[in-house]
A and B are shown apart, each in its own frame.
Chain A
Amino acid sequence: MTGQTTAVDPRTLSPRAIVWARRRRAWGRLAGQFRRNRAGMAGLVLMGLFVLLALLTPLLFSSSELDVTQATGGVYDPPSAQYWLGTDDSGRNVLALVAWGSRISLLVGLCATVISMVIGTAVGIMAGHYRGVFGGLLDRFTDWFLVIPFLPLAIVLATVLGRSLLNIIIVIGVTSWPGTARLIRAQTLSVEGRPYLERARALGAGNTHQMTRHVLPNVMPLVLANTTLAVSISILSETTLSFLGLGDPTAVSWGSILDDAFSAGAISQGAWWYLAPPGICVVLVVLAFNLVGRALEDILDPHGQGA
């Protein structure tokens, strides 16, 4: 599949077009390899289904279904034709709750991952590029975050910042970047050791130029693979924090559904339809992102591939 774009004669093209052609080719190669990875494809399909669900939810379920005062069902009605996943302790449709919950869970997961990736990549590249005191400091800073147990730090931050959607995104974002930073730093070191960077330096390339033009494109595949994996961790973190009652109290997410079910005595009542669906959704989404991430990593990670 790699031969598709070679028909273009490089001599007739501008340098920019050459770069783009090369990138398109790389993406095509990636897509091809990804398609051959069965687990990865399964994850991608699953991921797509959940994203679709999240996007279509407002069309499928009116937001009034989340309002306890407008609930139509009975207390803990088991699954039926009308309520596919039964009702909760206020008579709300659990299916609607789970669907609306997917929006918050995915949104928080993605946004937090973006924050985490930006911080992690920036710190990682700088730590790898600057070798002196500054690099050392960044390194120790990363270490410091790495050794603080995630959950207590997140809990304290969430308490101090207060409970809102934005805050929980920030909390997860700023607590989950050190692993990425480590990974990116290692890759940066290996890229920086390559001769063409030395060449760039000799030609007078500045720090910013080196980092953004040479190092960043080279670590990007790793960032991408890591992002997919980080999303699942972020979603899990959101669930955990919401379950502990630290999420946005006004938003329904899978974690907050679990929290509600737990505190409303769903376990004693045997109302499995209230507990199981959000939990299973979390597991499936995490699984989906992990499968995709693993597949990407296998393809992109320079250490994982013989090529």
Chain B
Amino acid sequence: MSLTARRSLRTRLLAAAGAGALVLGLAAVAAPSAIAESATPAPTGGAAGGKVTFTIGMTTDIDSANPFTGIVAEAYEIFQMMYPTLTDYSAEDFSTVPGMAESWEESADKLTWTYKIRPGMKWSDGQPMTAADAAYSINRVKNGRYERINYGSYVTNIIKAEAPDDTTLVVKLKKPTPVMLHLAIYILPEHVWKDISEADVKKFKNEPTPGNPIVSGGPFVFVERQVGQFIRMEANPNYWAGKPAIDEVVFRVYGNEDSEAQALKKGEIDFADSLTPNVFNSLKDVAGIGTVSAAYPGFNELAFNTGAALADGTPIGDGNPLLKDPKLRQAMAWAIDRQALVDKVLGGLGSPGSTVIPPNYPLLHLDPADPVGYDPDKAGQLLDAAGYKMGPDNVRVSADGQPLSFRLFGRSNSTTSKKSVEFIKGYLAAVGIQVTVTNLGDSPLTEKIGQGNYDMFEWGWVVDPDPDYQLSTFTCGKRSYKDGGTIYPDLSDSFFCDPAYDKLYEQQSTETDPAKRAEIVKQMQQILYDQTPYVVTYYYTDPQAYRSDRFTGFVPQPSPDGVLLFQWGTWSYDNIKPVSADTGGSTDGTAAAGATSGSGTSWGLIVGIIVLVLIAGGAGFGLARRKATDQDDRE
């Protein structure tokens, strides 16, 4: 399951294999900064040595560099730096602007779209980048089973794409569709990908080897990766919008947000993404560091197993059947204090959640007329009315005697998720619903969800400006599928299936009038709100921090308080430049000042270290005690 429309979960995937993750965790404990140091491919910062390297810290490594496999937000960041799309979302307000296509036209019958591709573009290896590449990429998604998982919602109504010449792309449609304006399918180099068969693409890593960078059409070329440590990208001289001002972008993976923040203070990195609220707040007043609690279209949810089944309706998994009852799910929604989650889990950096299209998209977001609030008494009444009477030990039982006892899964590598599940557990216990919490790595959890072996889980999505993908995750057809005896997860992670909803989904996917479409989208949100496959717990902001003393030129999306990186598009990467380029290289002093000004709070760090050292010392003492037997004692 990919839990997040196109730029998925903020964090995911530490746990490729259980033990692997543990070793990582161990390494993070042992020496957070040591990882970073050993992984340093080049000195960071400003214009050191003529080569400008912009280093970004993140807490989640990419899950795959293959755009058909990767689902975490970090992976999409890499994809869009490498592969263009036909159109882009503007930095100002997400409106559609030219990308690889410089203009486009919808035919009178709305069934043919003609894109005019920019002439004279080249891939990073010098091969021409043409309409043929675009046609190839769209058709590949259209015709592939595996390729459709991430991008299928864009091609449902496409018959085929053709390239009559290098600068013309013609896409034929079965039905009119609004999605053609922002077809977020990455255009891949045909001369590379034609050699990767459909059977091989599942296992294809798309990672560079020394001397063989990944062929790129975007501003940067993927040149090096150390799994779990760093990703290095170099500027693409053939980029059609012009070579970026920075020569190199390095993504460095940190064990946690704390060490990421320390690295930012020390100047090891220039940008820190997806910080936790507490860490973010501690960076606010540090000189030389700019902070943005950026508006971001992400939400987190408490998801229910509403009856796991394959797309064809065959039941799978061991989910508790009681959760098929929407009344029970709705009662739980009343039991959860979303405002408290915002205050305590997000440190106030967000707002309570309601529907699956966040308020960042005001045209599409539904503010429910009859909002569900926090009211444990009402939750209790709803449960009583639905036949769930209070049983022994303060746990309610269903009419046929089953206790309301459920498994809840959180994400072990997400601080907010681990905290959220504790709160959810407490709130549900208060109304007589027992919850057993288990925190899992993202990979095992994804597998568990895909196979329907769960009752509830806490995770999040980031929602596309186009609602199609997000809405598709609740359709019957996006439930898991079976291939050769193995069950594979598709996009649905609640296994929600409602014919009325599916019908509306079809309608909105062919409605090209934005206002009418928005109306349908709102109806769909209402269905989801009433049926409650998800309790949308909160909408969060993205706390980002950067070295304002070193780099400038960030382009927020949306303007003016949006995210600086991890956007839709590469606006900031195209425009970031070292501060020294503006001020004539007089920034060394400022940078140094900035690096030391964090000492106000660093004594807390010192205490932490002392504690850890004491523990280690205790261990050492314990182990060395035999040798330490005092000679005096013997005599």
Contacts and interface: CB of A to CB of B under 8 A. Distances in A.
A236 B340 CA distance: 35
Contact of B423 (A68, A152, A244): A68
Contacts of A89: 278, 344, 347, 419
Interface in B266-283: 276-279, 281-283
B611 A276 contact: yes
Nearest to A233: B622
Nearest to A230: B622
A249 B604 contact: no
B31 interface: no
A90 B618 CA distance: 29
A162 B447 CA distance: 17
Contacts of B470: none
Interface in A259-273: 262-272
B586 interface: no
Interface in A192-229: 229
Nearest to B619: A236
Contacts of A68: 344, 419, 422-423, 426
B107 interface: no
A286 B419 contact: no
A195 to B, nearest CB: 27
Given A69-B423, A91-B344, A249-B438, A283 B282 contact: no
A25 B423 CA distance: 57
A78 to B, nearest CB: 11
B370 to A, nearest CB: 25
Given A265-B278, A276-B611, 11 more contacts: A68-B426, A90-B423, A233-B619, A236-B615, A245-B412, A263-B418, A266-B608, A270-B603, A279-B614, A294-B625, A304-B634
Q: A159, A262, A280: which has the most chain B beta carbons within 10 Å? A: A262
Contacts of B615: 236, 239-240, 279, 282-283
Contacts of A275: 604, 607-608, 611
Contacts of A250: 436-437
B282 A298 contact: no
Contacts of B29: 243-244, 262
Given A263-B418, A267-B605, A69 B622 contact: no
A258 B426 CA distance: 21
Contact of A269 (B422, B430, B604, B612): B604
Contacts of A70: 426
Interface size on B, as a range, is 35 or more
Nearest to B617: A283
B42 interface: no
B625 A229 contact: yes
Interface in A9-36: none
Nearest to A289: B622
B411 to A, nearest CB: 12
Contact of A264 (B23, B343, B415, B614): B415
A76 interface: yes
Interface string B78-94: 00000000000000000
A71 B427 CA distance: 12
B347 A90 contact: no
B340 A268 contact: no
Contacts of B610: 276
Contact of A272 (B426, B436, B607, B623): B607
A67 B426 contact: yes
Nearest to A76: B278
B261 interface: yes
A111 interface: no
A265 B19 contact: no
A155 B619 contact: no
Contacts of B279: 265, 268-269
B618 A286 contact: yes
Contacts of A263: 256, 258, 415, 418
A233 B278 CA distance: 33
A49 interface: no
B621 interface: yes
B601 interface: yes
B257 interface: yes
Given A236-B615, A244-B29, A275-B607, A270 B426 contact: no
A290 B625 contact: yes
B629 interface: yes
Nearest to B600: A270
B408 to A, nearest CB: 11
30 contacts: A67-B429, A68-B423, A68-B426, A69-B427, A69-B430, A70-B426, A90-B422, A90-B423, A152-B23, A236-B615, A240-B615, A244-B29, A245-B25, A245-B439, A264-B419, A265-B277, A265-B282, A266-B278, A266-B604, A266-B608, A267-B608, A268-B601, A270-B282, A270-B605, A271-B604, A272-B607, A276-B610, A280-B611, A280-B614, A283-B618
